[in-house]
Chain A
Amino acid sequence: MTEEITHSNWKLRKGQIIAAKQMTASEKWFDIKLDDGRLDHEPGQFVQVELYGIGEAPISVCSSPTKRGSFELTVRAAGRLTKAMHALGKGDWVGIRGPFGKPFPVKLMTGNDLLFVAGGLGIAPLRSLINYVVDNRREFGKVDILLGCKTPKDMLFGDEVSGWQKRLDVNFSCTVDRSDPDWKGNVGLITGLIPGVTINPEKTFSVVVGPPIMYKFVIAELLKKGIPERQIILSLERHMKCGMGKCGHCQIDHPKNYYCCKDGPTFTYEEVKAAKKL
């Protein structure tokens, strides 16, 4: 007896790509509009993107919920699905499930100073929060943004980054691992930028997003600055296949049984410091 499940959580929302742009050699940006209304996400959440016949992949939403008509994704061609997605452009349709995951704790952060630390593609999920903060600037204290990337060519959201650079209500620093002749900024690891930031540790929330290797070193610097463990916020990467805390792929080796898709992807350092790997 075959029964239709109208309320299945596996059903896909339909999103149409309304703009797309190749940002770097390996990253492409997409602006997507759902045909059934708003995504209604919060900063730090992710969606499952389905390319019919190819499969699904979890992608962080990189736009702020303050942008209402559509949402944006930045996709690195890393796996089968994301490579295929790079062939898509304006007018193409994708399936969307979500938004999923625990967002950044915006309410807790309100009224505090913020120190954003983004490494590489980590800027994508962090941008949803940075733009949210910029759009609600008066709700927060001092805002510092530290950005690190491999080379100047790998810099994402270049126009927007120079916008942050120009603002007087945001302190912005950037560094690259390897310079090129046109680069006039810092060269070196992102950890080198942290000691130079003046902070009041008691009332500072630091939000760190980057590759696993970056966390270890950045967190050590932040702790040295005296920022409490519960005020260091991370977004962890795992392969979140179902997004509903069931399939098991994104479970973190941690005594608390965290599923990255449901209990995360955002965690305080205090919550996840017992994990075997961040």
Chain B
Amino acid sequence: MNYHILKKDELDGFIRKLATKMKVCAPVAKGHNNFAFEEVSSAAGIALDYIPTILPPKKYFMPPREKLLDFDISGDKPRDTASVDAEKLAIFGVHTCDLAGIQCLNMVFSEKPRDYNYILRKENIFIIGLECSRYCDGSATCALVGNHYPNGGYDLFFTELGDKFIIHVNTQKGEDLVEGMGLPKASSAYLESLDDVREEKRAVFQNEIGVDQKTLAGIVAARQESKVWQEIGSRCVSCGNCTNVCPTCYCFDMADTINLDMKTGFRTRTWDSCQFETFATVAGGENFRAERAGRQRHRINRKFSYPLDKFYRSFCTGCGRCTRTCMAKISLKDTLKALVAESRSVSHGTGQYSSSSLPLSGDESMVKG
């Protein structure tokens, strides 16, 4: 584990040099306190102090629309080829919540049968994280899921120390880059300052919901018939914004397009949303999740309950995007707090929850060949 130092006024040189090697994307201000990851060629446009971008870095790993196949039906027998546009890319300034989101997606798409469109793109992306020393805003719940601190998932990780950045090097690729740029190694004084930053954060970032992840998973699993779902379902307009902006929502749909020559065409994948009315409809017309309340419950289950069993981690990164984007002002924090409060009143104010209803054992019989 190596630490290097970059003076803040040398960041521009760093980005410019990096941009000669690969495309560089970073958070850029878009007005009205909105930010977006966009291509940059210098540090000038980069917003170092930003709240989570409108779309998470997910868009680079799993584009909103991508081609899976090209096909040709002009011959006797159809032919198809699969290809991917995996350009060399560096993403600078990724917050710890979004690093966690990328880790979640990596797990999903690396699981067999593997999705090589995702994997090949991922292999070409260089990730540079950036630490938050304070909350972005009141929508975030990163402390609930422990994502206010870095938990891997990057090549380099930047933390501000006064007029400098201390850079944690996590991969050989990262080491080669900082060595190539001749960045000096950090002395022990800097490492102590980094410890101080982390210690100060401990006081700032407090679990926003007041219960730990496993307990929360147990509460969500036990509150499947809660009136909270009816309440948020009655406000939800099924627009799908919450899932689009979620760093770990990866549900998709596929569609064929035939070209005007009527001989060639292509198959694309697009982001889909479990909030859409027909998401769980089968050809016969049966809709297995016809109510908005059920679809909202499904979304919360897929963040706080199901993935703990399957991937041993929460799929909520705490970024707060779903709350910020919701047209009906459905707040994730309020939803979770309401479930916890309801659970407390059901258990007659004892404040004791059992997470035993949550199967965390990773049942091997579920792994089907």
Residues on B with beta carbons closer than 8 Å to the beta carbon of A263: 366, 368
Given contacts A1-B85, A5-B84, contact A246 B120 (CB under 8 A): no
Question: Assuming A11-B80, A12-B69, is B256 touching A54 (CB within 8 A)?
Answer: yes
Also in contact, A35 and B77, with CB within 8 A (given A11-B82, A248-B252, A255-B221) = yes
**What residue in chain A is nearest B82 (Cβ atoms)?**
A8
Given contacts A248-B250, A257-B306, contact A52 B288 (CB under 8 A): no
Contact of A181 with B by CB under 8 A? no
Stretch from B26-34, B41-49, B278-286 contacting the other chain: B278-286
The answer to whether B281 and A239 touch across the interface, beta carbons within 8 angstroms, is yes
B120, B289, B302, B357: the one within 8 Å of A5 (CB) = B120
Main secondary structure of the interface of A (DSSP, over half): loop
A4, chain B: closest CB distance, angstroms: 5
The docked-state distance in angstroms from the alpha carbon of A38 to that of B265 is: 27
Cα of A4 to Cα of B265 in the assembled complex, Å: 17
Given contacts A10-B68, A255-B305, contact A78 B283 (CB under 8 A): yes
- B267 contacts across to A, CB distance below 8 A: 10, 50
> Does B116 lie within 8 Å of A8, measured CB to CB?
yes
User: Does A89 interact with chain B (Cβ within 8 Å)?
Assistant: no
If A53-B258, A239-B281, A255-B221 touch, whether A95 touches B294 (CB-CB below 8 Å) is no
Residues of A close to B302: CB separation below 8 A: 251
Contact A14 B282, beta carbon cutoff 8 Å: no
Considering the complex, give the chain A residue whose CB is closest to the CB of B79.
A14
On whether the beta carbons of A8 and B68 are closer than 8 Å, the reply is yes
Render A220-255 as a binary contact track against B, CB cut-off 8 A, 1 for contact.
000000000000000001110110111111011101
Q: In the complex, what residues of A have CB within 8 A of residue B272's CB?
A: 247-249
Find out whether the CB atom of B78 lies under 8 angstroms from the CB atom of A93: yes
Residue numbers in B under 8 Å from A6 (CB-CB)? 82
Also in contact, A2 and B309, with CB within 8 A (given A52-B71, A52-B256, A78-B283): no
Q: How far is the CA of A239 from the CA of B288 in the complex (A)?
A: 10
Residue in B254, B258, B284 whose CB lies within 8 Å of A242: B254
- A277 at interface, CB cutoff 8 A: yes
Question: Chain B residues with Cβ under 8 A from A257's Cβ?
Answer: 306-307, 309-310
Query: Is A128 located at the chain interface by the 8 A CB criterion?
Result: no
Q: A1-B85, A5-B120, A10-B68 are in contact. Are A237 and B252 (CB under 8 A)?
A: no
Contacts of A3 in B (CB 8 A): 83-86, 120
Which B-chain residue is minimally distant from A255 (CB atoms)?
A: B221
List B residues 298-349 near A (Cβ within 8 Å).
298, 301-302, 305-307, 309-310
Does A9 lie within 8 Å of B114, measured CB to CB? yes
A79 at the interface (CB under 8 A from B): yes
Q: Taking each of B71, B274, B283, B289, which has the highest tally of chain A beta carbons within 10 Å of its own beta carbon?
A: B283
| Given A11-B82, A239-B283; 13 other pairs, CB 8 A cutoff | A5-B82, A8-B82, A12-B78, A52-B80, A52-B256, A238-B282, A238-B288, A242-B254, A248-B251, A249-B280, A251-B298, A255-B358, A256-B359
Closest 7 CB pairs of A and B: A248-B251, A8-B82, A53-B258, A79-B283, A78-B283, A257-B306, A10-B68
Interface of B toward A, CB cutoff 8 Å:
68-69, 71, 73, 77-78, 80-88, 108-109, 111, 113-117, 120, 124, 221, 250-258, 265, 267, 272, 274, 279-284, 286, 288-289, 294, 298, 301-302, 305-307, 309-310, 357-359, 363, 366, 368
14 example contacts (A-B, Cβ-Cβ < 8 A) are as follows: A1-B88, A4-B83, A5-B116, A10-B117, A14-B78, A35-B77, A52-B258, A55-B255, A56-B254, A93-B78, A239-B282, A246-B252, A255-B221, A262-B368
Q: Give A residues with C-beta under 8 Å from B.
A: 1-12, 14, 16, 35, 50, 52-57, 76, 78-79, 82, 93, 95, 102, 211-212, 237-239, 241-242, 244-249, 251-253, 255-257, 262-263, 276-277
